[in-house]
Structure formats: C-alpha cells, structure tokens
Amino acid sequence: MDKISSPAEFQVAIQSPRLTVAIFKADWCSDCKFIDPFIPEVEQSYADRLTLVEVDVDAVGDVSQEQNIMGIPSFVAYSDGRELVRFVNKLRKSREEIENFLDKAVQVHQSLQK
C-alpha cells in the first residue's frame, strides 16, 4: 500500500479514475494498529477492483482537515477527485466491516461508470 506523505501526493492519488480508498491513520492510534495485521490480505483480495492508500494524519494534517476527518482510522473512497462514500465512526473496525465498506465502495464506483 502506498503511503501518502504530502498534500500533492494525496491529490494525485484521488484524481485517478480508478477507485481509490484512503485509509486515514496514525502511528499512535491503537485502533489503527488493530487493523494493520489483516489490511495486507484485504488489499490483495481487492487489488483488481481498487487501490488502497495510507494517509498519516500527522504527516499531512491539512489534508485531514480539508477532508473533515475527525476520527481514525477512517476510510474514504474517491474516484476522479470526488468522494464517493466514507466509513467513519469512533468504534474499532473489524475486518468484516472494512470489507463490507469496500464492497459498497466498489458498487458505488461501478454504478457511476455506467
């Protein structure tokens, strides 16, 4: 997974016509560390349908503010520079919840391609 380290990199990533899901997180976040072990497998299983990118909220704080990210980890799906859907809440996220969100993001993206 690519790690976004600047606002410019973030803009390039979300401008893609391909579905891009940004995971907003931070090194100090325990709920972020909880998802770390299984995210590589999730990324691999969705590799043909979307691109995952990691956005460190401490490294690119302006982006987090612009995107209205209040809690982490947060998942936001983009295509062609537009936000499609987001999965944001203050609860720890399970693998199943993340995969359900990614499925929803894929459905929304596909519906816009028609």
- For 8-32, what is each residue's pLDDT tens digit? 999 999 999 999 999 999 999 999 9
Is the pLDDT assigned to residue 90 strictly greater than 80?
A: no
pTM of the predicted protein model: 0.94
- What is the C-alpha to C-alpha distance for residues 27 and 76, in angstroms, rounded to an integer? 19
CB-based contact 19:51 (threshold 8 Å): yes
Is the pLDDT assigned to residue 114 strictly greater than 80?
A: no
- What is the C-alpha to C-alpha distance for residues 110 and 8, in angstroms, rounded to an integer? 26
CB-based contact 75:86 (threshold 8 Å): yes
